[in-house]
Structure 1
Amino acid sequence: MIEVPEGFLGMPRWWREGGEWLAGLPRAVERQCGVWGLTVSGPVAYGSNAIVVPVGERVLRMSPPGAEVEEQVQALRFWAGRGVVLLYDADVDAGAMLLERLSTQLRSRPVDEAVDVLGRLMRRLAVPPPADALSTAAIVTKRAAELEREWERLHRPFDVGVLREALAVAPVLTVPTADLAVNGDLHSDQVLAGTREDWLTVDPVLLRGDIEYDLARVLWTRLDEMTDIVQHFDIAVREAGLDRDRARDWVLYRSVDYWLWGLSAGLTEDPVRCARLTSAI
């Protein structure tokens, strides 16, 4: 049986849940390998909520069963290898996916190169979406109604002018300028080097609407490495073929949204990055 890495066992998401699943994970991997005729061929890797077990030219990904697994499987089947990792098989009830084997994380590359790659991936994934995908407009409509209450509950953690600016652009963002497939979780840790394509996305979240939606995450995840935030914003805008003003509105709104969410969740570093990003943009 595999040995679950200590780093994975210590992930924050397991502090309050998942103990039973973690305890049964080695047996679950062994069982899934038996079902699919797989042989473990290398050390276990992991992210925040899943392990990845090399099995020859492919990998077995295991995460807690549930709606998130089902949604990821649907997203991978929708994009079918276009800018995303190939899905060969899935057992949603077991939280198992059999995936194409990739290599180096985009996080390992210089930030200029990473932002360039992420911008091109935003555009590559922008194909006609499925009709039932959640829209970026619906997300903003629901969340914008909560922002001021959350800001008050958190004892007004930043200047009201920043909040007002985000709330002012929110109604504009509820009217999408496009109806395209969007990956709602795009950043350097979720993109790995491939062979079919140079870089491929893993764990995508399938949305529809404005592809500018997750540009803020592209920036804030590597913000500490950027000497000129606006320059990197412009790189992404150029490579993704975005409208600059629309992109700026999305970055502003999403940064304020995540800033408040991060404070509510007890995060310390990401709210600081969001503050810097809103100030620069």
Structure 2
Amino acid sequence: MTVELPGVFVRTVSRYVPDHGPDGQDGAGGRTAYRPDGETWLARLPGLIDTSLGRWRLRQDPDQPVRWGSTALVVPVLRPHGDPGMLKLGWPHPESDLEHLALRAWRGRGAVRLLAAEPADGALLLERLDATRDLTVGPVAGTCEALGTLLGRLDRPGAPWAAPLSDHLRRLTGRIAVATADPAAAHQFPRRLLLHAASLVEDLLQDGGLDERLVHTDLHQANVLWRTDPGEWVAIDPKVESADPHWAVAPALWNRWGDALAAPDLGSHLLLRLDLVCGAAGLDRDRARAMSVLRLVDNALGALRERHEGTGDEVTRAVAVIKAMQRG
């Protein structure tokens, strides 16, 4: 069976280059984090689809459109007895390596249910959710509270196969030091924000307790869909670390950015989001502010390192969120 690949998806993935893990490190769990370039993987994708359909005796659902994200194709399928499902095939990269393990750990509680997996092919068979209903629309209060509730539902002990946040922060310390010592960096990102971030990292590493929980680090408004039975929001597309749940608050701040810019006071709007998420999740507001600052600094330095088309906008957004968190 031939599944037509969406043109936007092909154009996006074809730009990806082979790479290794963060800062040249191995991937989570000690595995080699090598990933093929996008064009090589796209050439393999039709065969991976056919293999997956045959392995699980699936057929493409002709009444539902193929969906995609920045790194994965999701094909609506019908299982052997006609039950609906979603076949997800992702471009191999370190963040996706652990998705099947995380979904197994959650067992459908607060997250999309995993029906089957073939990690070697990057293939997942998932339950069918309502792909037309997410948290990218609706009042800020309700959507942020839903995200906070999900943070609580997803809480699990940290796992040995998930990379520890403490290692992530130590790498960030090195990147901050390099940027702080570079005179040219002052024209790209405020030095005072780098110094503030360096102090926050040092304090958090001294406090410890950073690696104790399994955390969906990319839990934001577009990564939540509606499960019609019994009627509840659940998370999709997990990117996980053994971390601190406060590390997961920041994506709720930098997503739905148009809504933030439309608010009468950007800083107050972002602090309201923070308060709503933390309140629903039972998290400490100050710790969430500190970790959100670090995530935005991490994002900005990553964007400046990669120099992609949206680098300027990403750095501007990061600075705006950091300043809002400092107001709190």
In the alignment, is the contact (CA less than 8 A) between 1:66 and 1:93 conserved in 2?
A: no
From 45, 58, 67, the equivalent of 1:45 is 67
What amino acid is the match of 1:277? V
From 195, 205, 215, the equivalent of 2:249 is 215
TM-score when normalising by structure 1: 0.92
Q: 1:153, 1:2 → 2: CA distance?
A: 51
Q: 1:222, 1:48 → 2: CA distance?
A: 17
2:85 pairs with 1:63: no
Partner of 2:249, secondary structure, is: helix
From 7, 29, 43, the equivalent of 1:23 is 43
Which residue of the partner structure matches residue 314 of structure 2? 270
Which residue of the partner structure matches residue 227 of structure 2? 194
From 182, 186, 203, the equivalent of 2:237 is 203
Q: 1:263, 1:12 → 2: CA distance?
A: 21
In the alignment, is the contact (CA less than 8 A) between 1:182 and 1:208 conserved in 2?
A: yes
1:145-224 alignment to 2 at 5 Å?
145-151=174-180, 152=182, 155-156=185-186, 157-174=188-205, 175-177=207-209, 179-195=212-228, 196=230, 198-224=232-258
What amino acid is the match of 1:47? G
Q: 1:93, 1:81 → 2: CA distance?
A: 22
Partner of 1:24, secondary structure, is: helix
Q: CA RMSD in A?
A: 2.0
Q: 1:212, 1:251 → 2: CA distance?
A: 8
Unpaired segments ≥5 residues, structure 1: none
Q: 1:114, 1:198 → 2: CA distance?
A: 13
Identity of aligned residues (%): 31
What amino acid is the match of 1:150? A
Which residue of the partner structure matches residue 280 of structure 2? 239
Q: 1:229, 1:66 → 2: CA distance?
A: 31
Structure 1 range deviating more: 237-246 or 142-151: 142-151
- Deviation per CA, 1:176-232, whole angstroms, max 9, x where unpaired? 446222112211222111134511111212322310112122211223312221111
> How far has the Cα of 1:60 moved from its partner?
0.4
Q: How many residues align?
A: 281
Q: 2:184, 2:114 → 1: CA distance?
A: 42
Unpaired segments ≥5 residues, structure 2: 18-36, 79-83, 264-268
2:155 pairs with 1:126: yes
Q: 1:64 to 1:15 in 2, by over 3 A?
A: closer
Partner of 1:107, secondary structure, is: coil
Which residue of the partner structure matches residue 134 of structure 2? 105
Partner of 2:76, secondary structure, is: strand
Structure with more relative contact order (C-alpha pairs < 8 Å, separation 6 or more): 1
From 101, 104, 120, the equivalent of 1:93 is 120
